[in-house]
Structures are given as C-alpha cells and as structure tokens.
Amino acid sequence: MAQTDTDRNRRRLLKVAAAGVVALPLNGLLTRSAAGTGDLPRLSEDDRAARALSYVHDAVNASAGKRKDGALCKNCNLVLDNQGEWRGCSLFRGKAVNENGWCAGWVRRV
C-alpha cells in the first residue's frame, strides 16, 4: 500500500511532537547550573501564566489533589538554579520562583 502525503505529514508531526516532549526536560537540565537567575523579579501568584499553571509560592497551599507529595520547585527538572530561595524556571522565563513553590508543570528532577 502506498503512503499518502497525509500519512507522511502525520508521521512528521508525530516525530516533531515526540522530540519536543524529550527536549523540554533536557532544556532544564542543560541550563540549570549556568543560569545565574538569582536577581530575577519574583513571579507573582497573580500573574496570568502563574494562575494558568496553579503556581503557589508555598507548595502546601497547592490545590488539593493536584500536587504529588514532595513535589517542589527545588526538585523540579525545570528549575534553573541549584540553590537559593528564589530561582529561575524554564516555564516562567525572566521570573524567579520560590524553592518551596510548585506548579502544575512540575517534572521530576533527573
């Protein structure tokens, strides 16, 4: 059976999507230590993007049932710094998140 253009386009789209899923956590891993994001302005919980991902400065205030036990910004694969109370985050570029915060984008640190 011959492949149609639609089949080829669908396969290409799936490959690009799969690459994106792999690249996002790797991006956090590769940029974490070199970011130097300690002086960034703090992300507000009222920020539109923060609200969309249910970000909270203190993970104990996360909506019930959404957060896995032990999930914090400081052990998220998307946090950009290894230390400091306020750290950069791959999802909220240009802003600092609290090390004890959390959002729905949390990914286990590898």
Residues that bind ligand SF4 (CB under 6 A): 55, 73, 76, 78-79, 89, 91, 97, 101-103, 105-106
12 or 66, CB closer to ligand SF4? 66
Smallest distance from the beta carbon of 100 to ligand SF4, in angstroms? 10
Output DSSP code: residue 106: -
Least distance between ligand SF4 and beta carbon 82 (Å) = 12
Nearest to 41 by CA among 88, 106, 79: 88
Least separation in angstroms between CB 19 and ligand SF4: 20
Which CB atom, from 4 or from 49, has the smaller least distance to ligand SF4? 49
Secondary structure of 30-90 in the HEC alphabet? Answer: HHCCCCCCCCCCECCCCCHHHHHCCCECCHHHCCCCCCCCCCCHHHECCECCCCCCEEEEC
Nearer to ligand SF4, 4 or 58 (CB): 58
